[in-house]
Structure 1
Amino acid sequence: MSDDQNAVHGRVEPIESHDGATDDDGSRSGRLTRRRVLATSGALLVAGVGGAGPAAAAGSSGGRVQPPSASASPGPIDPRPPGDVSLESVEAVVDERMADVVENGDVVGANAAVVRGGEPVLTAGYGDTSLTDGEAVDADTPFRVGSLSKPLVWTAAMGLIEAGEIDPEEDVRTYLDAVPVADGEPITMAHLATHTAGFEERNQGLWVSDPNEARPLATVLQEEQPARVRPPGELASYSNYGTALAGQVVADVAARPLDEYVEEQVFEPLGMETAAFEQPPPDGSAAGYTAALGTPSPAPGLALELWPAGSLCASATDMSRFMRSQLGDGSVDGGRALTADGLARMQERWFAHHPAVDGIGFGWFEDTRGDVRTLWHNGSIPGSFYSHLLLLPEADVGVFLAYNTDVGASAARDVLDGVLSEAVGSTEPSERRPSGRPERAGALEGTYRGLRIAETTHSKLFTTLQAAELSVSVDDEGYLVTQAGGGRTRWVEREPLVFDQADGTETLAFGGSDDEITDLYVGWQALRRRSRFESLGLHGALAAGSAVGMLAGVVGYPALAGWRSLRGSDGDEADDGSNEDGGERSDEDGMDGSDVDTADARAQKYSDGGESPTPTGERVNAGDESRLGALLAMLDSPGVARSTIGGSIVAILAFLVGGTAGIVVDPTLLSDPPGWYRALLLLPVIASLGTAVSLASATLAWRSGTWSRRSLLHYGVVAAGTALACWLLYYWNLFGTPG
């Protein structure tokens, strides 16, 4: 159900997948293209862009540079003019390359469709539906197409907009009956279609292992609503939740279930006979496979709770007819889902971060190759299916590809490169050279990170690891230099805050205010400047230091206890440390439970007199003296400090081992957290409480002079490492609840 949105190097490529990993072949060249920049997002989700209205000029005086206004009336932003397109061999390129990838054994089964001039010129199947029954794939074999479900939902929504039943600039709360949307600025269908509603990424509500366990759509939308982390209409960040919420709007306005409405208004008029929002897939569908271990093996059959975002099953024949409905005048054998005006409106640019970069239509992503504008979308099911749909509206050409194996993303990239090279060709531009340093060069430098991050839930770490990250600097020759994943690309400033690739065709732009540059725009996606504190490298170093500290306890304390056991130690040996009064202290103080001061002596110390001092210096009445004295006496012990910090370390390690094993074994753990995992999230809380008790105990023992210097130093290293681990788990939301 994921979409890998990538339009890089002027090629349509997967960049960032919301449910499956996408590799970037830009790494082979060592160059940074849009594909490479955004493919570093890795796996898990898709990105998108949305909004309406023209973009303000970057660097405008006074305050923040404004992105295209999502409150303005939607309307076209003129695309780049069409260039020359050669179509004679497109279907041959697709057919040959699809057959090759199946014959090579990389993919179990695939299907494809090419339409041109309003007619299907290729609908074909390749390979087998599964490895067990040997049934051949044909053009009518249904495949799970993941987020290619979304353009179908947006087509249905545009039909209601055409009918005047939905205003795309109206607050969706006006139309929703069953799902309350959190208070805040209005969110519109234009925001949802362009992924600019301001939602954070959220895994909960995506995948379950059993379709029968899926909750009703309205329930999931209400219970798993993501936090709103930025104003609507400001920046685009791909959202599965947003499309599912739009599907609920369609259902509430149409007063019938969404799947029934799409069947009636889209599938039936277009003759898409096997297309269906159905989980599990209908009989005769292709089975899913993963090639993660080299040889294709069966993948788990996951079901999507936010089903409008990615549960469609469709054949090459179905998608051929859908592409025909999106080209020309939208008519397919006399049937249509949209009028010609509605179709044109759906394909207009509704949002762009900057006029110099690509934008988003009403549910479509925009890319250019040479002077040719393309629209596209893709989808995936984690660990199995991948699909991609490409439209060249000016040329009246569409290409659909689907694979039932998770290497389909790279296979599709090869096919689409071939299609675009054949249709548009490629021209190597002359190398550009800077005339000087870029304007505001110092303000541009820094590291920028993708927006598709679960900022408030337990998926924060995993989505951050998958987010694109790009380092920006200016070299001595005046080139802007971007680096990601080991690749390095140089750029030349065309105008303030807009840069063209020095030896290529790509463009990037920056946004922010007169005081600060905050955003980097690549294709339709935005990356935001991150602080040094947010660096994964810094957090990795902190984690390593924490591990060293905890290891000192895990290894040091048992090793010391074992050494004493071998020596027959009774706790009397002195070390070279001394207490604060200058006397000698045992190196074993508290390790075996027999501190230098006996428990009775400590109790007497805290019970002496009518009132007893607390660690903060307050006095306690005699009536409470015995209980508090016993508690303080118990805590005033290096042995207690060590044992409680040891328990905290055990809790942290148990969480890390259990959580890692769970993610490996259960692909739905982050989206459908089981009870045992929710209980596991309590361990970091317990570890934090244990660490606090240990530090209190160590403070009392230190004030009493019952530590040797060497033992106190060792304990300090262990406690610091453990406390740091607790803080890191808290920072990454792995603390108490999934969120």
Structure 2
Amino acid sequence: MLTGVGGVTAGITLSGTVAGIARPRSADDAGQQQRDSAAAEGDDHQREIASIVEDLLEDADVPGAAVAVVVDDEVVLSEGYGLADSETGLPAEPTTPFRIASVSKPVVCTAIAELIARGNLDPETPVQEYIDNGLVNWDEPVTLANLAAHTGGFEATNHNMWFPSPEDVGPLPEHLDPMPAQVRSPGTLGSYSNHGIALAGQSLAEAAGDPFAEAMAAVLFEPAGMETSSFAQPLPSAIDEVHATGEGGIGAAGRFGGLGISPAGAMSASATDMARFMLLHLNEGRLDGEQVLDPAAIDHSHQQWFTHHEAISGMAFGFAESRHGDTRVLRHDGASPASGFTSELRLAPEHDIGVFTAYNDNGLELDLADTVVEALLPDPSHESPNPSDPHRAEELPGSYRSIRHGTQAHDSLFTTTLNAPSIDVALADDGALLVDDGGGATRWVEIEPLVFEREDGSDRLAFGEDDDGELSQLFLGGTPSAFVETSWYQSTTLHGGALIGSLFGLGWAYNEYKPDRNREESRREWLASTRSDPDRLSSLMAHLGSGTFLAFLLLLLGYMTVGQTQYLVGYLTDPSSAFLLAYALPVIGVATTVGTVALALYTLLTRCWSPRRQLLYTLTALVLLGTATFLWYWNLLLL
């Protein structure tokens, strides 16, 4: 169970009676009474928020949490809960730094917006004007506006991201070289991109004339008095010594590892600092009576820079949009599987409300920030329209997959299976749209052609056409990544079935064609005899090919399920000798597949085998060919 450490500052002002003797009422007394009433109401507000937070955290299996809530330009809650470090018993304080993962992104974009307001950067200028052209490996110009809204057109990849230790992280440009492939035109479809935000961060560094971490400190952290905030890797000792420890991190002794593309998620900050950050956004850049950021920077940050459809929420400058009734909410979540932290940030500027939460536990889905925001905002009024036959109804059903995955990168299988969720769409008998994202179907009603609203009014989606006029695109409000209808050959079910079939087929072939030699015959003699004995040569090819492919697939599945963090580090960032050696397996598999297919064709043409042997060997050749095709499709044949 988590409990608050410290307490919520009450701030109660007592007046009106002294020693039980009533004073004559005057104008000053009336004004004081109003102030007392407001203070008491504010204190009740604080208690209500604190109660919501404590109730949600009470039964959660979370080591520690940092929570900040800002209302009407005041910090009503800035608190640490539970333990910053489970092993040492160090309590979480309001000033305890947590890794805030991808909530780093809107912080980086706020600093960029400040330099835009100063005239040092321009959101519509191609970023190659600001960065070393050695990083530029794409064809179509990409702007800061594209990068902040995740419409740069880059494929998703985890390359050069995670390192065993922050000490292993080098300068940001090293980890951006090479950039992921540009697989679509900028500004057309959104796809959440860690590397895109990192590239924007490098543009900030170039404009500021300092390395990225130092530029963030100079542009934002130091002027805002965010004393426990840093992107440095390793962290300054004063921050590192009191930092929360993530659960399940890849670093030694439970500490988090390094993040090569640091703007995407390497920021550490406390509840106290994030409260100050939210105040900047809710008070036009003012803090403690000082104008810390240009008001234009806040306007840039809150402006909508991209939406897939004018009827749905889109992207602000580093923030995603969502709606609570008629209220626009700016938001961002963060989760770091390799460092062991989860975070949430919500801003409702028109009501001067901000909520930040962070936990030293990865993958947590408490939705605490949303619960607090919803408790503070007016209850939304909503009347759902009656379902009716939607426009182009016959074209809507299908399976749609997020485009946040790789197509050319070596980890395309990883990003597709873990980062690219699918949505299944069907039609109900009454005309409602049934949308299932894996958690059960929800009902949506068409409110205008090809625009649907969830029956409870909490979200909207829209459909769009591709270049051929086919209705193959689905857009969720506030979701950076578009969803595209999958073709039959892209089906997860098909590829999952192909993988399972390959494993069984390879296992059978490996056993069926294992060498059968006499004890008196040495291994060298047996291998030498395969040169003149087609039967033995064919068995050797089938056995070796199935064995190498089988071993590689089992290793790959093991890393992607049991050892994901090791996969992220060892496979995608700094391959060890073992990883490099593992990739000799598919090379051998492909070579033996070619030999097996050639022998199958030769024996089929010469009819030198019995029908049964020919059938089994042809099936083996097809299994090997199918496995090689599967690995080729997912860019896994070569490291």
TM-score range, shorter chain: 0.7 to 0.9
**Aligned match of 1:75:** none
Secondary structure at 1:655 match in 2: helix
1:317 matched to 2:272? The reply is yes
Decide which of 76, 80, 87 is 1:125's aligned counterpart: 80
Instruction: Tell me how far 1:327 sits from its aligned partner.
Output: 0.5
Q: Distance in 2 between matches of 1:125 and 1:211?
A: 25
Alignment of 1:305-704 (within 5 A): 305-382=260-337, 384-406=340-362, 409-411=364-366, 413-425=367-379, 427=381, 429-435=382-388, 437-466=389-418, 467-485=420-438, 487-512=440-465, 515-525=469-479, 526-558=482-514, 634=531, 637-663=534-560, 664-665=562-563, 666=566, 667-675=568-576, 676-704=578-606
Bigger relative contact order, structure 1 or 2 (CA pairs below 8 A, ≥6 apart): 1
Q: Distance in 1 between matches of 2:526 and 2:620?
A: 19
Instruction: Tell me how far 1:726 sits from its aligned partner.
Output: 1.4
Q: 1:418 to 1:338 in 2, by over 3 A?
A: closer
Decide which of 595, 598, 609 is 1:707's aligned counterpart: 609
Instruction: Tell me how far 1:489 sits from its aligned partner.
Output: 2.1
Q: 1:286 to 1:392 in 2, by over 3 A?
A: same
Asked if the contact 2:104/2:264 (under 8 Å) is kept, the reply is yes
Instruction: Tell me how far 1:486 sits from its aligned partner.
Output: 5.3
Of 691-700 and 194-203, the range deviating more from structure 2: 691-700
Deviations 1:644-695 (A, max 9, x none): 1110111112212333444534152343141321332232122011011122
**Aligned match of 1:273:** 227
Q: Distance in 2 between matches of 1:87 and 1:179?
A: 55
Q: 1:338 to 1:661 in 2, by over 3 A?
A: same
Q: Distance in 2 between matches of 1:721 and 1:708?
A: 20
1:242 matched to 2:213? The reply is no
Secondary structure at 2:464 match in 1: strand
Instruction: Tell me how far 1:115 sits from its aligned partner.
Output: 1.2
Decide which of 128, 138, 149 is 1:173's aligned counterpart: 128
Q: Distance in 1 between matches of 2:397 and 2:60?
A: 45
Equivalent residue letter for 1:529: E
1:283 matched to 2:236? The reply is no
Asked if the contact 2:106/2:318 (under 8 Å) is kept, the reply is yes
Instruction: Tell me how far 1:333 sits from its aligned partner.
Output: 0.8
**Aligned match of 1:264:** 218
Q: Distance in 1 between matches of 2:451 and 2:373?
A: 29
Asked if the contact 1:140/1:315 (under 8 Å) is kept, the reply is yes
Q: Distance in 2 between matches of 1:248 and 1:635?
A: 62
Q: Distance in 2 between matches of 1:477 and 1:247?
A: 49
Q: 1:94 to 1:209 in 2, by over 3 A?
A: farther
Instruction: Tell me how far 1:284 sits from its aligned partner.
Output: 0.8
Instruction: Tell me how far 1:173 sits from its aligned partner.
Output: 0.9
Alignment of 1:85-234 (within 5 A): 91-100=46-55, 103-104=58-59, 106-177=61-132, 179-223=134-178, 225-234=179-188
Secondary structure at 1:490 match in 2: strand
Percent identity (aligned): 37
**Aligned match of 1:736:** 638
Equivalent residue letter for 1:328: N
Secondary structure at 2:176 match in 1: helix
Deviations 1:465-509 (A, max 9, x none): 121211223343322222231511222222211112245442210
Deviations 1:614-666 (A, max 9, x none): xxxxxxxxxxxxxxxxxxx9477122112111101111122123334445341
Deviations 1:31-53 (A, max 9, x none): xxxxxxxxxxxxxxxxxxxxxxx
Deviations 1:540-595 (A, max 9, x none): 2222332332233233345x959xx89x9x9xxxxxxxxxxxxxxxxxxxxx979x
Of 245-254 and 476-485, the range deviating more from structure 2: 476-485
Secondary structure at 2:186 match in 1: coil
Q: Distance in 1 between matches of 2:444 and 2:232?
A: 47
Q: Distance in 2 between matches of 1:488 and 1:88?
A: 42
Asked if the contact 1:641/1:695 (under 8 Å) is kept, the reply is no
Q: Distance in 2 between matches of 1:707 and 1:142?
A: 71
Q: Distance in 2 between matches of 1:547 and 1:635?
A: 31
Secondary structure at 1:326 match in 2: helix
Deviations 1:335-389 (A, max 9, x none): 3442223212220111111011111111111111111111112222215111111
Instruction: Tell me how far 1:462 sits from its aligned partner.
Output: 1.6
Equivalent residue letter for 1:726: A
Q: Distance in 1 between matches of 2:538 and 2:332?
A: 57
TM-score, with normalisation over the residues of structure 1? 0.74
Secondary structure at 2:331 match in 1: strand
CA RMSD, aligned part only? 2.9
Deviations 1:429-463 (A, max 9, x none): 4553333x222112222211101101112211121
Equivalent residue letter for 2:537: V
Q: Distance in 2 between matches of 1:561 and 1:646?
A: 11
Deviations 1:111-163 (A, max 9, x none): 11111111211111111221222222111111111122222221221122112
5+ long unaligned stretches in structure 2: 1-40
Deviations 1:383-437 (A, max 9, x none): 5111111111011111111111225x322x045224313433355x4553333x2
Asked if the contact 1:550/1:719 (under 8 Å) is kept, the reply is no
Q: Distance in 1 between matches of 2:78 and 2:332?
A: 19
Deviations 1:303-347 (A, max 9, x none): 100112211111111111111001122210133442223212220
Q: Distance in 2 between matches of 1:529 and 1:299?
A: 41
5+ long unaligned stretches in structure 1: 1-85, 571-591, 600-632
Instruction: Tell me how far 1:212 sits from its aligned partner.
Output: 2.2
Asked if the contact 2:151/2:188 (under 8 Å) is kept, the reply is yes
Q: 1:360 to 1:218 in 2, by over 3 A?
A: same
Q: 1:87 to 1:353 in 2, by over 3 A?
A: farther
Q: Distance in 2 between matches of 1:553 and 1:498?
A: 52
Asked if the contact 1:270/1:336 (under 8 Å) is kept, the reply is no
Q: Distance in 2 between matches of 1:505 and 1:238?
A: 22
Q: Distance in 1 between matches of 2:149 and 2:574?
A: 29
